[in-house]
Amino acid sequence: MDNGTYEYALEMTTPLGIRHGNLELRVQAGFLNGSLTMFTRTIPIRAGRWEENRIFFCGDMKTLMKMLPYQAEGQISGNQISLTFLTETGDYPATGCLVKHSKEV
């Protein structure tokens, strides 16, 4: 991944069905930050990094019932992203595609 901002439209599989969201990743010298919008809430991600086509980051998702901490890991291939969100209540797979990319100037 080149330095810049990448926005992905996501579909996450949850016990209550498919949920749609958005992942914005800002890449700078191998490190990531950005935000995850899932369950209608946008929350910053933290402690992110990428290595070749693998990405790792952590954060929280806010459901109707509670705050749900997660660790995410996955891979990027072309315009596609595939992630697993590891949580205390189970693992949630998500897939998505790139909808916007802006390079760092």
What integer is the mean pLDDT of 7-22? 94
pLDDT of 58 strictly over 60 = yes
- The percentage of the chain sitting over the pLDDT mark of 90, rounded to a whole number, equals 70
Distance between CA atoms of residues 79 and 58, nearest Å: 22
Cβ count within 10 A of residue 7: 17
Residue 72 confidence class, pLDDT cut points 50, 70, 90: very high
Give 53 or 59, the one with higher predicted confidence: 59
